[in-house]
Amino acid sequence: MTSPDFPALSITEIQSVLEQTSASKLDDILLHTSVPSTNDELWKRLAEGKTTPAVCLSESQTAGRGRRGDHWHSPHAGNLYLSIFWPFPAEMTKNGLSIAIGISLINTLKDEGINGLQLKWPNDILYKRQKLAGILVESRFGIKQHTVIGIGLNFKLPAATKNQIQQPTISLQQLCTTVPCRNRLAGKIIHNMIETLELFQHSGLNHFLPQWPNYDALADQTITLISDHDKLTVQARGINDQGELRYQHNNMLHTLSNSHVSIRFSS
Catalytic choice (67, 120, 182, 237): 67
Which of 55, 58, 61 lies closest to 15, judged by CA?
55
The yes-or-no answer on residue 184 being catalytic is: no
CA–CA dist 153, 114 (Å, integer): 13
182 catalytic, yes or no? no
43's CB contacts (< 8 A; 6+ apart) are 138, 140, 148
The catalytic residue among 45, 94, 120, 131 is 131
| Residue 131 known to be catalytic | yes
The long-range contacts involving 4-11, CB below 8 angstroms and separated by at least 24 positions, are 5/78, 5/155, 5/156, 5/173, 5/179, 6/78, 6/155, 6/156, 6/179, 6/182, 7/181, 7/182, 7/183, 8/59, 9/57, 9/59, 9/182, 9/183, 9/186, 10/183
Q: What span, in angstroms and rounded, lies between the C-alpha atoms of 106 and 99?
A: 10
Give the catalytic positions in this structure. 67, 131, 264
